[in-house]
């Protein structure tokens, strides 16, 4: 193996070892932020309902409550890495609606003025949700712990014999 191949393999190995710590940081940072956003919404549902009404979101009262609870509880679950991919999918939907309803100009200017798209509030939350949705929560999560436990239970002799 050439020096370049060895260095490349070393790079891949080192970068791969950073995957779970990176996913942990993403979950902790954006899970916390989402939890705080949900807490703020829960403490002023009337304001959120009014904003949703202005945006023309259907059933603004029910939608405000749903989003507030999703962000509050989902932020904690995301932070812990429990139900991560489902929560990430719901967060991605939340942020796509936020983009379309509240930052439509940013979406429409994605090719003419991409900075406007990247600077919009939903952008980093959407990216964090997509990262966890696509790559999973990583090894440092309750999902990983449960997956290990389920795998151990499924492979035990008791589970395979039905006893």
Cα 122 to the chain's mean position, in Å? 12
Give alpha helix (H) positions in 18-111: 19-42, 45-55, 60-80, 84-102, 104-108
pLDDT for 163: 46
Cα 106 to the chain's mean position, in Å? 21
Of 43, 44, 41, 22, the closest CA to residue 33 belongs to 41
How far apart are the C-alpha atoms of 136 and 120, rounded to whole Å?
25
Mean pLDDT, residues 97-115 taken together = 91
pLDDT at 162 over 50: no
pLDDT at 39 over 50: yes
Report if pTM > 0.85: yes
| Domain boundaries defined on the chain | 22-138
pLDDT at 22 over 80: yes
pLDDT at 159 over 60: no
Q: For residues 150 and 136, which has the higher predicted lDDT (pLDDT)?
A: 136
109: which 2 tokens? 């200017």
84-97 confidence digits (pLDDT tens): 999 999 999 999 99
């Amino acid at each position: 193996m050439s020096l370049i191949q060895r260095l490349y393999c070393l790079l891949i190995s080192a970068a791969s070892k950073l995957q779970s710590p990176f996913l942990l940081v993403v979950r902790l940072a954006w899970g916390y932020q989402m939890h705080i956003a949900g807490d703020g919404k829960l403490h002023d549902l009337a304001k959120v309902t009014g904003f949703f009404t202005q945006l023309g979101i259907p059933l603004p009262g029910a939608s405000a409550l749903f989003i507030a609870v999703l962000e509050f509880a989902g932020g904690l679950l995301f932070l812990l890495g429990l139900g991560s991919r489902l929560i990430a999918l719901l967060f991605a939907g939340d942020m796509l609606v936020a983009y379309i309803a509240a930052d439509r100009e940013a979406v429409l200017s994605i090719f003419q003025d991409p900075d406007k798209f990247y600077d919009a509030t939903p952008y980093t939350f959407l990216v964090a949700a997509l990262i966890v949705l696509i790559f999973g929560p990583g090894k440092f999560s309750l999902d990983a712990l449960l997956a290990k436990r389920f795998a151990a239970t499924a492979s035990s002799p008791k589970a395979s014999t039905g006893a």
